Amino acid sequence: MRTMLMITTIALAACSTVGGGADSPTSTTTAPTQTSAPSTTTTSSPATTVPDAAPVATLTIIGFGFSSVPTLAVGDVLEISNQDDVPHTWTDDDGSFDVSLQPGGISTHTFTEAGTYEFFCRLHPSMRGTLDVED
């Protein structure tokens, strides 16, 4: 009889309105899903990392190649995105910028000087591209 009384007491306690019974509101909070943070690298002039500026154009690395980019103006922000499953770099031929991007990595840069920038991937030298920046 004593065991039956304990089981009944436990069952009643579990059904009480404390913490979510029929008479008390309940809420569920779901933590946001977090993905890995993009990789960014600070570079020297003429390109610098600008985390808060909105990109004007995107240069995508995909399929071991660089996408084309429209002509930019001085002050425009370029977003570089690595969509491949391996690391790449975005490196200017004259060494004025050299950004390493892990798979899924994103970096943004503001161009401060006009010119034609020829770039490549140091890890995969056959990957090449050209970018024009005008005044």
Nearest Cα neighbor of 82 from 53, 57, 107 is 107
Average pLDDT estimate for 19-32? 37
Question: Is residue 55 very low, low, confident or very high in pLDDT (cuts 50, 70, 90)?
Answer: confident
Strands 57-61 and 77-82: parallel
pLDDT by residue (tens digit) across 74-127? 999 999 999 999 999 999 999 889 999 999 999 999 999 999 999 999 999 999
The pLDDT confidence band at residue 52, using thresholds 50, 70 and 90, is low
Assign 54 a pLDDT band (cuts: 50, 70, 90). confident
Domains of the chain, CATH where assigned:
47-134 (2.60.40.420)
pLDDT at residue 53, as a whole number? 63
- Contact indicator for 101, 90 with CB cutoff of 8 Å: yes
E strand map for 15-114: 47-49, 57-61, 72-73, 77-82, 88-92, 98-101, 106-111
User: What burial letters (b/e) apply to 87-118, b meaning 16+ CB within 10 Å?
Assistant: bbbbbbeeebbebbbeeebbbbbbbeeebebe
The answer to whether the CB of 35 falls within 8 A of the CB of 97 is no
pLDDT, mean of residues 62-81:
95
